[in-house]
Structure 1
Amino acid sequence: MMDSEIAKPGDNPLAELKSTKKSKHYSLEEYLQKEERAKERHEYFNGTIIPKPMAKGPHNIIVMNTGTALNIAIEAEHKPYTVFGSNQKVYLPELNIGLYPDVLVVCEKPQYWDDNQVLLVNPVLIVEVLSKSTRKNDRGSKLREYKTLESFQEYVLIEQDKCHVETSFREEVNLWRDTTVTELNASLFLRSIGCSISMERIYKNVLSGHI
């Protein structure tokens, strides 16, 4: 992809267009074709292609820890859920947006927008690990975007440099309950899937003094 054809990453992706000429508008099909050949991941915002910021080591460890903990908890409780990692693209049909969450969970059978099984449309739980470049977007516009998915019930935000996890659970159509957990010896209960995972497992090999 040419630099003049894509937006630069930042707190508000669509506000970071810095090209001196009018940015090209891509169809969803064109985006998917380009993404298949791209060396780096990009997200899609109704015609605009945005590079996905590069993640640091602690971020990647937390993502893997969380995905592993979710799989173990789901299997132990014999729940009908499937966990996906950060390479799974989620599509928001109402907004024509394609995003890469850090971790997500679907109930029973995954549903896709496309026959190629690329664009997932039925996540019940979405996890984002916060970083300096994505924090504002993850807390603001991204949550509003995810809320357009009928299946979406719970949003989890994980700090990577301290023990701090926030959850937002959809109790009713327009009613969300927020919960914060900050103790390393505590458990994080995820109401959308009826499972708990330990905070120590989330931060394993990340926070100093805890393995």
Structure 2
Amino acid sequence: MLRVSTFLALSIAYSAMAFANPVQYAINTQKTSVEVFWTLAGSAISHAQITHITGAITLDSHKDFEDKIVVNIPIYSLNAQNILLTNELKSGTFFDEAHFPLAHFSSTRVIDIGGGHYRVLGSLQIKNIQRAVILEAEIVPDVHPNAQRGDMTLHANTTISRSAFGMDSYLLLVADPIKIDINIEASMG
């Protein structure tokens, strides 16, 4: 009887530890993008897309302080509405790709606010400037017919001040607030 109860206690303890372990996801570079939107000349909306994003997501259902989202955003992959705008955004006037080829986001906390919605606190580094940001995020279970078990889609958005990141040229023409939409597809790995 003692052996059976010891075995059951160990099995329960092992199951609890296995369930509490964090789940890690690798970002699918081909299916992940960042969209950047701004107002031009007071009314027109312009945008650019950044692809080839890498990173990882770690989620622990029992310890939200252990949740982590790390994203590397390569500026070389930025593509705007035309080649002139793309080149200007990559220049020293804005992202300065030659000196700072990557932007970087790292979460400090992921807060579950219910219904698959999360508030992600973290820091965004563009060029050599790092600022705190808050993302409003939603995790959507993958329902694509070809999705593998354990795939995940995360949609997030935030608004930043471009001048806070040293991109303060053309303020009379281009609005300071920049809206960012992030679409991440990731797989357990």
Say yes or no: TM over 0.5: no
Higher RCO structure, 1 or 2 (CA under 8 Å, sep 6+): 2
**Scaled by the length of structure 2, what TM-score is found?**
0.28
Which has more radius of gyration? 2
Q: Which structure features the higher share of strand residues?
A: 2
